[in-house]
Amino acid sequence: MKKVPVQMTVNGEERAEFVDSGTTLLKFLRDKIGDLTPKAGCLQGTCGTCTVLVDGEPRLACITLVEDCRDGTIETIAGLSADGKLHPLQQALLDHFAAQCGFCTPGMLMAAKALLDANPHPDRADVEDALSGNICRCTGYEPIIRAVLSVSSSDACRDTAERGAV
Amino acid sequence: MTIAYQTFSDPQAASRFLAERREARLLGGGTILVRRVNEGDISIGTYVRLLGPELRQIDVADDMVRLGAGVTMSTIAKAPALAFLAPVARSIGGPAVRSAATVGGNLFARSPHGDFGVALLVLDAVVSLESLEGFRELDLQTFFKSRTQLARGSIVTAVRFRRPMPDDFRFVKISRVKPNGAAVLSIAAVVSRTEGRVSAARVAFGAMAKTPVRAHALEAALTGAALTPHEIERAVASAVLDTSPSSDAIASEWYRKAVLPVHLRRLLWT
Amino acid sequence: MEIRKSYFADERHDDLKEIGQSRQRSDTAGHVRGITPFYADRRIPGLLHLRMVRSPHHHARILRIDTSAAERHPGVKRIIVAKDVPHNVYTMLSLINFGPEDEPVLAFDKVRWLGEPVVAIVADSERGAYEAAALVRVDYEELPAVFDVEDALKPGAPLVNEYHGQNYFRYDSGASRKVKLGDVEAGFQRADYILEQRYDSSPIEHAPTETTGCIAVPDQNNRLICYTPTQAIFFTLDHASIILDIPGQRLHLIGGTAGGAFGGKVDSTVEPITLLAAMLTGRPVAFIYSRYEEMQISSARAAERIYIKDGLTKDGQIVARQVRCYMDSGAYSRLSPYGAQKTAGHFPGPYTIPNVEIDCYCVYTNRTPSSSMRGFGITIADFALEVQMDKLARIIGMDPLEFRFINAYRDGDMKAHRQLTEGAALIECMQETSVWANWPIESRFLKMSSRQKRA
């Protein structure tokens, strides 16, 4: 079967690749681009570990076709730490002990980023809703929610909104 | 061994393709179809993507609303003209699911999912269907009853309904996982009141049968009833009659039947 | 965090430098940047994919396995059946001299649980592996199955595993792991109240966010690399080397990182077969459980059924405790004989009881083999024990916390399994808890000490 061309921006970089048709965005990012940060926790679209941003919206890469993302803007956590400095959300998760095994962390960060890009001052209910599609089996969610809220109430959220506008 | 991806701008052409190829399936948000492929469903061989702006359009003219089948839950949640439906759209999964899940796709979701369809049912929505027989419209009740018997190649392209009076529409989705877990049950209601009595009532349940269903016995009992706790209680007693819930990982049949009257009472009494 | 230095003050050296301090985990910086290398975070050219054909029946004889159609699938590189496995025996417990070797890596004559692995398909794509798996034909003769631990022990119950000859693991003490102290019947005679209750738990799945799996890669010098999330990497290495019949130094396991495990990544059921696939094809092979496999196939915590019969005096002393515990090991042993043994040692709980009789059975049923999870053998037993303690307290109208003080073990007390209690601190923990939980108790309990035997 012939491969098909796809072109899109991934973390600010123009990418053009040939893929098998029917390839998911997750497989494309991990196998073609080499970005291993989105994870394959369930391949059902229920755990959220594959959460990435497509044109600013949170999407589940495991059930999204890369062919539906042509000319799109894709963001993963690999693009979050510009010039080696941690994004405020990453720093907040670190400071709040909001990661144990770390498998849900990339998805949580992208879901949180999607929230803060759209709403720099979310309340707790907003944060809970934003993370409601991301499963964590280790932390019990509370440290993660507190970490995201800490960014929402700090000045760092302004930087977040500015960085978010890719 | 790869899965083909075929796009169409013409619904008729897409319909013909789907009818002719057993391995072709219409793709919405992917929450159902791509999941099945990921899990090893080898009967799916081609994704069919229907293009066209009307599929993703929301049209509001006077009080008539038309939603393209490709409109996503996140779009509905943000549409000012559909503010009354925002709570329904926001209850469908987390934000990433809502970015993908479509109006059309939700009509085919299996119980206990499909809560947007519950709201559409109570709004007396009409479905636009494209098939080899051409274009036709079908009321949503009949659609749900015949959902598994639709002709091969049938495509839902839009739904339309009349916007209810602002205070008449109510919706609740009961989940064990909060927020946004799958439904124990959901209830959508359009209840019109005149001088302390119910002048008209439409009620639909989700996760209480194989598809969203209207609660006809309850509607009859509610019509003309005074809005007192006693009369609501009397009407609600008939609610379980139109239901046949399943037991699944979310809740048992017994539990769903036991709590339906409780949540109904609370919904009607606000 | 505060440390209560007034308790056991004479034993303290007050030299704690780390405990009580807030310290960052060593791996969190990697987690928040997404650079933590989970086992599947590898880009390996030429990677093959393994998918398992599994039993659709709870209990059945295998009459015939026909892989000819599957072998003709263009994507298939190799198909593995039981006779291809050098030493087709699951060996985890024998590594600690526990035995038994009652489970095959791939089934050959019988399947004993729904989902048991029968044929491994190795193909150049996931999709190809699924397609080829669907082409495998296995003829089964279904057999009656048993799903309940007590039903499995009744005469005439279907025999789950011929290896054992009966539906329980035979300890040197017989059908159960036994603990006996004093004479429970005499104890029941002098008791004022008798309480007998039954406690049941279901199998509990760990459901880690990362599914079980591994990637095996042929390396230079005739070695094999395996990227694995196993919690027991040295067990996994020894276990794989025995099954593959190769010296351990040919294996290089890279792990120590799991996306959640909770006891569910100890069994090492995926590594040996994946390493074998890499050996037989000369290519890297990935075997990654789907979410369905993680839920249904990977081991869960054993379901347990616990009967506790207690004799209680009016003044709140438990004078006799008799426990019968049945652990549902599923179709094979895995770690359950060890788990049931732990349970036997854990009963009757942290209480001094003069007459104790414990029987813990490791029972085989036609269910998914169970295994370790978060304190297996202990956690469910504690649920049963502590609910029982609350019920006993209620019978005599005593506060449930005070009731536990009366029965708490103290230094020098003989435990049911003939070990003297030492270093007991239950009384002190309960005293501190009563303060912090604002659960007032009589002052005589606040004066008690683990170092003083009961009056």
pLDDT at C288: 98
Are B40 and C51 within 8 A, CB to CB?
yes
Indicate if A141 and A107 belong to the same structural domain.
yes
- Mean pLDDT value of segment C450-454: 91
pLDDT at A155: 55
pLDDT at A17 over 60: yes
Last residue of a domain, one of A57, A78, A99: A78
Give the tens place of pLDDT for each residue, C29-68: 999 999 999 999 999 999 999 999 999 999 999 999 999 9
Q: How many CB atoms lie within 10 A of CB A121?
A: 11
For A91, the domain range is 82-164
Interface test with A, best of B6, B97, B176 (most A CBs within 10 A): B97
Interface test with A, best of B1, B6, B34 (most A CBs within 10 A): B34
pLDDT at A152: 86
Are C128 and B1 within 8 A, CB to CB?
yes
Interface test with B, best of C77, C130, C292 (most B CBs within 10 A): C130
**Residues A127/A115, Cβ–Cβ less than 8 Å:** yes
Count Cβ–Cβ pairs < 8 Å, chain A vs chain B. Answer: 97
Are A43 and B39 within 8 A, CB to CB?
yes
Phi and psi (nearest 5°) for C330?
75, -155
Indicate if A62 and A131 belong to the same structural domain.
no
Indicate if A66 and A98 belong to the same structural domain.
no
Are A63 and B49 within 8 A, CB to CB?
no
- Mean pLDDT value of segment C274-280: 98
State both tokens at B89: 């759209």
pLDDT at A156 over 60: no
What's the gap in Å between the CA of C137 and the closest CA on chain A?
27
* Chain C residue nearest residue B43, CA to CA: C131
C177-204+300-425: which CATH topology? Aldehyde Oxidoreductase; domain 4 (3.30.365)
B1 interaction partners in chain C (CB closer than 8 Å): 74-75, 125, 127-128, 131
Q: Which of C75, C133, C292 sits opposite B1 (nearest CB)?
A: C75
Q: Which of A80, A90, A103 sits opposite C259 (nearest CB)?
A: A103
Instruction: Please state, for a pLDDT cut of 90, what percent of chain A lies above it.
Output: 87
DSSP A88: H
B169-268: which CATH topology? Enolase-like; domain 1 (3.30.390)
pLDDT at A161: 46
A48 interaction partners in chain B (CB closer than 8 Å): 94, 96
What's the gap in Å between the CA of C116 and the closest CA on chain B?
18
Indicate if A72 and A88 belong to the same structural domain.
no
| Spatial distance between the Cα atoms of C50 and C271, rounded to a whole number of angstroms | 11
**Residues B56/B70, Cβ–Cβ less than 8 Å:** yes
Are B42 and C128 within 8 A, CB to CB?
no
- Mean pLDDT value of segment C330-359: 96
pLDDT at A164 over 50: no
Query: What CATH superfamily is the domain C48-142+207-296?
Result: Aldehyde oxidase/xanthine dehydrogenase, a/b hammerhead (3.90.1170.50)
Are B2 and C131 within 8 A, CB to CB?
no
Q: How many CB atoms lie within 10 A of CB B71?
A: 22
Q: Which of C30, C43, C290 sits opposite A102 (nearest CB)?
A: C30
pLDDT at A114 over 80: yes
Indicate if A106 and A155 belong to the same structural domain.
yes
What mean pLDDT, rounded, does chain A reach?
92
The yes/no answer on whether domain B4-50 falls in CATH 3.30.43 is: yes
pLDDT at C92: 80
Indicate if A147 and A111 belong to the same structural domain.
yes
Indicate if A102 and A36 belong to the same structural domain.
no
- Mean pLDDT value of segment B157-183: 94
pLDDT at B238: 84
Q: Which of A58, A63, A128 sits opposite B30 (nearest CB)?
A: A63
**Residues B245/B208, Cβ–Cβ less than 8 Å:** yes
C40 interaction partners in chain A (CB closer than 8 Å): 39-40
Based on the structure, what is the number of domains in chain A?
A: 2
Give the tens place of pLDDT for each residue, B36-76: 999 999 999 999 999 999 999 999 999 999 999 999 999 99
Q: Which of A31, A80, A101 sits opposite C259 (nearest CB)?
A: A101
Give the tens place of pLDDT for each residue, C93-131: 788 777 778 999 999 999 999 999 999 999 999 999 999
What's the gap in Å between the CA of A145 and the closest CA on chain B?
13
Count Cβ–Cβ pairs < 8 Å, chain A vs chain C. Answer: 95
pLDDT at A166 over 50: no
Residue spans of the domains in chain B: they are 4-50, 53-162, 169-268
Indicate if A152 and A109 belong to the same structural domain.
yes
Q: Does A56 touch chain B (CB under 8 A)?
A: no
Are C131 and B42 within 8 A, CB to CB?
yes
State both tokens at A105: 């962390």
Tell me whether strands B197-206 and B183-194 are parallel, antiparallel or unpaired: antiparallel
Give the tens place of pLDDT for each residue, B98-114: 999 999 999 999 999 99
Which pTM value belongs to this model?
0.95
Are A129 and B49 within 8 A, CB to CB?
no
Indicate if A89 and A145 belong to the same structural domain.
yes
DSSP C269-336: -SHHHHHHHHHHHSS-EEEE--HHHHHHTS--BPPEEEEEEEEE-TTS-EEEEEEEEEEEEETS-TTH
Q: Does A44 touch chain C (CB under 8 A)?
A: yes
The yes/no answer on whether domain B53-162 falls in CATH 3.30.465.10 is: yes
| Spatial distance between the Cα atoms of B260 and B209, rounded to a whole number of angstroms | 12
Indicate if A89 and A149 belong to the same structural domain.
yes
pLDDT at A165 over 90: no
Residue C230 contacts by C-beta under 8 Å, 6 or more apart in sequence? C214, C236, C253, C255, C258, C265, C266, C268, C271
Are B1 and C127 within 8 A, CB to CB?
yes
- Among B81, B98, B100, CA closest to B89: B98
| Spatial distance between the Cα atoms of B261 and C5, rounded to a whole number of angstroms | 56
Last residue of a domain, one of A16, A49, A78: A78
Indicate if A110 and A64 belong to the same structural domain.
no
- Please name the residues between 126 and 145 in chain A that touch chain B, using a CB distance below 8 Å: 128-134
Query: B: neighbours with 3+ CB pairs under 8 Å?
Result: A, C
Residue spans of the domains in chain C: they are 48-142+207-296, 177-204+300-425
What's the gap in Å between the CA of A72 and the closest CA on chain C?
22
pLDDT at C13: 86
Are C32 and A104 within 8 A, CB to CB?
no
Indicate if A54 and A14 belong to the same structural domain.
yes
pLDDT at C223: 97
pLDDT at A163: 45
Instruction: Please state, for a pLDDT cut of 70, what percent of chain C lies above it.
Output: 100
B2 interaction partners in chain C (CB closer than 8 Å): 127
Phi-psi region of C89 (alpha: psi -120 to 50; beta: other; left: phi over 0): beta
